[in-house]
Structure 1
Amino acid sequence: MSNTTKIVNFYEKLKPADVSRLGEIYEEDAFFKDPFNELKSLSNIEKIFEEMFNELENPYFVFIDKISHNHQVFLTWDFVFTKNRRNFKIHGSSHLKLSESGKIMYHRDYWDVGEELLLKLPVIKSIYGALRNKLAVDS
């Protein structure tokens, strides 16, 4: 099984009890960055996933594209969850750099907070929409 397949399989089956097993796919001193966090160390990465399971209902990942070359992996995914009885789906991507042992040493997530999250909140949606219309190029 390739390292990419192992990582994707781990994430596709991720449950709260699996957070303590993140060391199977991450190096101890791994770097992680997303639109809200920038941190280093396996223990801090575990905290992010613990919080995810504490704050969200039934969160899971659906992987769409997988590209790997040498020790780098690029994944596109949908992150699906429920919060306050509302269903959400965030589309994003991850750039992973793997160590010689095949574990993640660098994990950077890319997704548009405005489009994927803020625009789903009514008040912010109207403000953001007005700003977006004002800045858009006429065609």
Structure 2
Amino acid sequence: MSTNPKPAWLLEFAVVWQQELSNHNLDALDSVYHSEMLFEDPSGQIHGRINFKAHLAKLYQNVDEASFQLHEPVVQDNQRVAQPWTMTLRHPRLAGGDPVYVEGISLLTAQSGKIVSHRDYFDMGEMLYESIPLVGPLVRLVKNRVSP
């Protein structure tokens, strides 16, 4: 658990990602992200808030639900935070339309109250590959064979 106080930008980040963000309200990101921010996740890098918003708009297409539950963050200082989360995703082509739950963590860096770097770590197989018919059972089989 974090002993450092939560910076104001992190509190705003939590409000945006848990309450305000939707495909119809991507402008909510403007209040927490710097215009020249960098986003990274297992699928690649995105430079700039405009491109990040376009990326999310594309991801949210055909999604029935995408929501985040943020857990207790680890605040290193006023500018660096590790923010664990659980994403609930429902897509008609994944898991038969049933919810898929993905655990992850975001490493966030802010300057002057705006996020300049947001890097997500999560298991892409858990989110996507394991939920695709025919591919999912094969991925789970491989994971089970290599797990300790």
Q: TM-score range by the shorter chain?
A: 0.7 to 0.9
CA–CA separation in structure 2 for the residues paired with 1:120 and 1:54:
18
Runs of 4+, deviation exceeding 4 Å? none
In structure 2, what is the equivalent of residue 112 of structure 1?
123
Matched, 1:12 2:13: no
TM, length-normalised to structure 1: 0.86
CA displacement at 1:127 relative to structure 2? 2.1
In structure 2, what is the equivalent of residue 52 of structure 1?
59
- Contact kept, 8 Å, 2:16 with 2:28, in 1: the verdict is no
CA–CA separation in structure 2 for the residues paired with 1:53 and 1:36:
15
RMSD value, Cα? 1.8
TM, length-normalised to structure 2: 0.81
Q: 5 Å matches for 1:83-94?
A: 83-84=91-92, 85-94=97-106
In structure 1, what is the equivalent of residue 136 of structure 2?
125
Amino acid at match of 1:135: V
- Deviation per residue, 1:25-81 (Å, 9 max, x gap): 111110001111311001111112212322311211111221212210111111112
Amino acid at match of 2:56: F
**1:55 match: secondary structure:** coil
CA–CA separation in structure 1 for the residues paired with 2:147 and 2:18:
37
Query: How many pairs were matched up?
Result: 136
Name the one with the larger strand percent: 1
Identical aligned residues as a percent: 20
